[in-house]
Chains A and B, each alone.
Chain A
Amino acid sequence: MPPETLFERITDFAARADPYPLYAELRDSGVARQADGSYLVGTYHEISALLHDPRVSSDPRSRAEPHEDPAATGLPPSFIGLDDPGHDRLRRMVMRPFGPPHSPHRIDELRGEIQRVAGELADALVAKDRFDLVDDFAFPLPVTVICRLLGVPEGDVPQMHTWADAVVAGLDFAPGEDPSPRQRAAREARQAMGLYLGELAEQRRRAPTGDMLSALVHEPGPDGALTRQELMVSAVLLLIAGHETTVNLITNGMLTLLRHPHEYDRLRDHPEEMPAAVEELLRYEPPVQLLPQRSPLADIEVAGVTVPRGAPLILVLAAGNRDPLRFPDPDRFDPRRPDNQHLGFGSGVHACFGAPLARVETHLALTTLLRRLGDLRLVEDSPEYRRSPVLRGPRHLHLEQHRR
């Protein structure tokens, strides 16, 4: 089939369970211009170069064609939709209470809490013959953790679930379907979540409680304080991105390990090898498959093809992760793979903000599951997938358990 239709075929729900043959076709096609004028890139070195190219914009307003942001809420863009220097300023301000240089211990100090939540969720599964890994473990863990990190009271966590679900549904691609109702619902959920978090931050301003929201409103750095709108947008971003990706990383992780029983057993017996296995999962089944938002600020040449200024530039990270020119035997899942500089978290100035949290959560989640659970069997392979080709992962992962 012609490479002009690759994006359509990749986003087609039929490809969700196994998009990798299409990614191979994309790599063979070089830079693939699509019928709508967008450009698809799936080779490792080109993606890596574009992620470090200061002429490649992440701001939807850089598009030549007026681009309707499905998540438009009237709020200002979050830092993932901004370029430097605006991106840098905002990201640095949000980083202040999250990580180094100002808060280097924040995530490390969360390990005990993550372990506790993972342990409790696993406890509830031990006695079950059958359960859904997504609803019973992979979803509640990161939501609970990100709410705890930000300072959302436990009683409000279910409400956050509901909003987060709606927002993520709004990001879906579903060719042939009218997306507007879903997008409207997503917009409303995003607004409601923003208002809620803004109000919560106001409370924390009056009475700080040591969490990240309190720090965001109480400890302005040299760049001053976030505006209320910036704070709302950033908090929503952390909440959505902070769990939707991790849900998929944990679920894809268990699915992959169950498909490789030898590795499953080895990692159960050698939990110290799990951090490297998490990196390989990020390469092999990355939770963010592609970055659809980029566009060049000038005509740029990519592998001999000129991508005109303002054209949508879609970077298929998951295809780059399986590029045989970068990774030997790329379709093999190898938890001990050396020199694994995968694109699972992107790269360059927009590299995933929450990567360290996702790493620790997934590491502790998988180690806990392997240690605590009995012999597991996939009820169906492949499982039912979520619609999104971007945030790709199973909607449910039904497992049967035989207690040891």
Chain B
Amino acid sequence: MTTPARDGRIVVVGASLAGLRAAETLREKGFTGELTLVGDEPVPPYDRPPLSKQVLLGRVAAGDCGLPARRPVDARWKLGVRATGLDATRKRVLLADGEELPYDRVLIATGTRARPWPHPEEAALDGVFTLRTDEDAARLAARLDAGPRRVLVIGAGFTGSEIASACRERGLPVTVAERGRAPLIGALGGTAAAFATRLQRAHGVDLRCGVTVTSLRGSGGRLTGAAFSDGSSIDADIAVVALGAVRNTEWLDGSGLAAGPRGVACDAGCRVFTMYGIVTDDVFVAGDVARFPHPLFEYQMIALEHWGNAVAQAEVAAHNMVSPGPLRRPHLTVPAFWSSQFGLNIKSVGVPTFSDQVILAQGRPEDRRLVAVYGYRGRITAAVTVDRAKWLDHYRHLIETGAPFPPAPGAADFHAGHEPVPSDVPDPRVLSHGPTVALTGHLPDRRLTLLRPGG
């Protein structure tokens, strides 16, 4: 038996992790209609997390990070073609090559791109990189192979820290410049970031916090160094700009959808809102570009630039695209991410920045094995482990059930004397690195209609 929802034309805009998993889920759920995937990169979907880790270490080639398929998708792939617009009235996706793709339902999964260095002339210097695509990683890895005298990493979020870690592991001198007070502070708060500071310094990173890079200097078109806001300067032949991500929403200008620099706003079922806060029923969104309300975080709209969210949200969006109303599901997954850097495995559940306090619940920083638990107004909202991933499920459950903060006593490796302290979450505006979890406000119909990129 075919239901109308299982037939027709679906266009998925964005052919990376979220787009791929959505396409597979559509087929798995019985969608038998016409399926088109549009991707602006010329290659099939690949996995990005290894790019800042194994690839920069030279262990895996950037071109070898393809994603395995869960199942055949029987789709038309339009790769290397950018979507330039969405006509919600005529139900068409407009492509850069002039083609118009008619749809009955469309999924927006256009993700993010690396935030570029703001001065175009400096950004064009040979030796200045960003890291987002496989091509970025291939070029950067090749330059690291050549043995630069010093690498400058601008921005100490997760990507910047992982890049610095890979460079140190290769024995390369590294300077990290961060406008905030400490590495990872935008994701983990100041208390946990103090740990990251000690970690970077212990691994020989020349870490400079509270400074900005005022200029990248070059000679003959090549990068030669950088100057900092504190008046100091360094020589460097590579600079990696790790200033966070920009959401790919410009192509939706004029579409009438609630899309802007903070992302594309949707309801808990991944249905996109119009600029008036009215929910659509044929436009869906998933992955890094989406912002959605999360009940565990007081229904604040959140945007998650995380691998796991791309997969989980794509599955929910695809399910809802082919399911009648009563069978639709909400996207309620507890956010989670990981990072490996300086030989440590850092994992998180919940949203650490949605907190006012943090406690060291297990282990000790000096042993480099610990569990930090975050609370907001007396309930547990997040947990971060360092080489302690096997305990994380326990805390995920506490987050899901709104358990009281601080967590109940009794952990065998709790060290007496640790009390809750302020988690010290900074205003994201003072950071070089953008947070990978963005709490973007409560009301989808209020702030969004004002947003115009490049205004």
User: Are B391 and A83 in contact (CB-based, < 8 A)?
Assistant: no
A310-354 interface (Cβ within 8 A of B): 348-349, 351
Q: Is the CB of B397 within 8 A of A83?
A: no
Indicate if the CB atoms of A55 and B413 lie closer than 8 Å.
no
Q: How far is the CB of B199 from chain A (nearest CB, A)?
A: 16
CB <8 Å contact, B367 and A54: no
Q: Is B369 an interface residue (CB 8 A)?
A: yes
Determine if A54 and B411 form an interchain contact, defined as CB atoms under 8 angstroms apart.
yes
Q: Which residues of A contact B363 (CB under 8 A)?
A: 84-85
Closest to B392 in A: A52
Cβ of A298 within 8 Å of any chain B Cβ, yes or no, is: yes
Say yes or no: A52-B410 contact (C-beta < 8 A), given A84-B362, A85-B363, A85-B367: no
Cα–Cα distance between A91 and B408 once the two chains are bound (Å): 27
Kindly identify which residue among B361, B394, B409 contacts A52, using a CB–CB cutoff of 8 Å: B394
A: number of interface residues (CB 8 Å):
20
Question: Is the CB–CB distance between A84 and B408 below 8 Å?
Answer: no
Q: For the complex, give the distance between the alpha carbons of A300 and B411 in Å.
A: 11
Q: How far is the CB of A398 from chain B (nearest CB, A)?
A: 42
* Contact residues, B402-453 vs A (CB, 8 A): 408-414
| CB of A88 within 8 Å of the partner chain | yes
Complex formed: what's the CA distance from A335 to B367 in Å? 42
* A59 surroundings in chain B (CB, below 8 A): 412
Known: A85-B367, A88-B369. A52 touches B413 (CB 8 A): no
CB distance from B397 to the nearest CB of A (A): 7
**Nearest A residue (CB) for B408:** A298
Tell me whether A53 and B413 are in contact (CB under 8 A).
Answer: no
Verify B413–A84 contact, CB threshold 8 A: yes
Does A296 have its Cβ within 8 Å of any Cβ on chain B? yes
Please measure, in the bound complex, the distance between the C-alpha atom of A309 and the C-alpha atom of B412, giving whole angstroms.
Answer: 12
A49 contacts chain B at the CB level, 8 A cutoff: yes
| Interface of chain B residues 304 through 363 with chain A (CB within 8 A) | 361-363
Task: Tell me, yes or no, whether A57 is within 8 Å of chain B by CB.
Answer: yes
A225 contacts the other chain (CB 8 A) = no
For B394, give the chain A residue with the smallest CB separation: A52
B410 x A49 contact (CB < 8 A): no
A226 part of interface (Cβ distance < 8 Å): no
A296 B367 Cβ-Cβ under 8 A: no
How many angstroms from the CA of A357 to the CA of B195 in the assembled complex? 37
Closest A-chain residue to B412, C-beta based? A83
Chain A residues lying within 8 Å of B201, measured Cβ to Cβ, are none
Q: Which of under 10, 10 to 19, 20 to 34, or 35 or more describes the interface residues of B?
A: 10 to 19
Minimum Cβ distance to chain A for residue B70 (Å): 13
Minimum Cβ distance to chain A for residue B251 (Å) = 38
* Chain A: minimal CB distance from B378 (Å): 19
A24 cross-chain contacts in B, Cβ below 8 A = none
- B412–A55 contact, CB under 8 A? yes
Instruction: Report the separation of the CA atoms of residues A169 and B6 in the bound assembly, to the nearest whole angstrom.
Output: 62
Determine if A297 is an interface residue (Cβ-Cβ < 8 Å): yes
Are the C-beta atoms of B413 and A85 separated by less than 8 Å? yes
Q: Are B412 and A54 in contact (CB under 8 A)?
A: yes
User: Are A53 and B394 in touch, CB under 8 angstroms?
Assistant: yes
**Contacts A52-B391, A85-B363, A349-B390 known; A297 to B410 CB distance under 8 Å?**
yes
Contact of B362 among A48, A49, A54, A309 (CB under 8 A): A54
Interface of A is mostly: loop
A54 proximity list for chain B (CB < 8 A): 361-362, 371, 391, 394, 410-414
CB distance from A252 to the nearest CB of B (A): 27
* B390, A52: Cβ atoms closer than 8 Å: yes
Flag B223-244 by CB within 8 Å of A: 1 or 0 each.
Answer: 0000000000000000000000
Q: B387-403 vs A: 1/0 string, CB under 8 Å?
A: 00011011001000000
A89 to B413: give the CA distance in the assembly, Å. Answer: 12
The answer for the CA separation of A84 and B397 in the assembled complex, in Å, is 21
Task: State the CA gap A22–B410 with chains docked (Å).
Answer: 32
Minimum distance in angstroms from A73 CB to a CB of chain B: 23
Interfacial chain B residues near A349, Cβ < 8 Å: 390-391
B391: chain A residues within 8 A (beta carbon): 52, 54, 348-349
Chain A residues within an 8 Å CB radius of B369: 85, 88
Interface positions of A from 51 to 107, Cβ below 8 Å from B: 52-55, 57, 59, 83-85, 88
B415's nearest neighbour on chain A, judged by CB, is: A85
Q: How far is the CA of A250 from the CA of B92 in the complex (A)?
A: 61
Q: Which residues of A contact B390 (CB under 8 A)?
A: 52, 348-349, 351
Q: Determine how close the nearest CB of chain A comes to the CB of B218; give it in whole angstroms.
A: 41
Residue of A nearest to B364 (CB): A85
Q: Which residue of B lies closest to A351 (CB)?
A: B390
From B397, which residue of chain A is reached at the shortest CB distance?
A49
B394 / chain A contacts, CB cutoff of 8 Å: 49, 52-54
- Evaluate whether A52 and B411 lie within 8 angstroms (CB atoms) in the complex, with A85-B363, A85-B367, A88-B369 already known: no
Contacts of A53 in B (CB 8 A): 394
Interface membership of chain B positions 363-382, coded 1 if the CB is closer than 8 angstroms to chain A and 0 otherwise: 10001010100000000000
Q: What separation, in Å, do the CA atoms of A84 and B371 have in the docked complex?
A: 12
A164 → B minimal CB distance (Å)? 29
Contacts of A88 in B (CB 8 A): 369, 413
- For residue A309, which residues in chain B have a CB less than 8 angstroms away from its CB? 410
Q: Is the CB of B409 within 8 A of A57?
A: no
- Chain B hits for A296, CB < 8 A: 410
Q: How far is the CB of B413 from chain A (nearest CB, A)?
A: 4
A311 to chain B, nearest CB (A): 13
Q: In A16-68, which residues have CB < 8 Å from any B CB?
A: 48-49, 52-55, 57, 59
Contacts of B408 in A (CB 8 A): 55, 298, 300
B352: min CB distance to chain A, Å: 19
A296 to B411, CA, bound (A): 9
A139 to B99, CA, bound (A): 69
Q: How far is the CA of A300 from the CA of B403 in the complex (A)?
A: 13
Q: CA A83 – CA B410 in complex, angstroms?
A: 12
Q: In whole Å, how far is B363's beta carbon from the nearest beta carbon of chain A?
A: 7
Q: Is the CB of B410 within 8 A of A300?
A: yes
A55 touches B411 (CB 8 A): yes
Task: Kindly list 10 other residue pairs between chains A and B, CB separation below 8 angstroms, not including A48-B393, A52-B394, A298-B409.
Answer: A49-B393, A49-B394, A52-B391, A54-B414, A55-B408, A55-B411, A57-B412, A83-B413, A85-B367, A296-B410
Q: 13 A-B pairs, CB-CB below 8 angstroms?
A: A52-B390, A52-B393, A52-B394, A54-B362, A54-B371, A54-B411, A54-B413, A85-B363, A298-B408, A300-B408, A348-B390, A348-B391, A351-B390
In order of increasing CB-CB distance, the 6 nearest A-B pairs are A298-B410, A55-B410, A83-B412, A54-B411, A84-B413, A297-B410
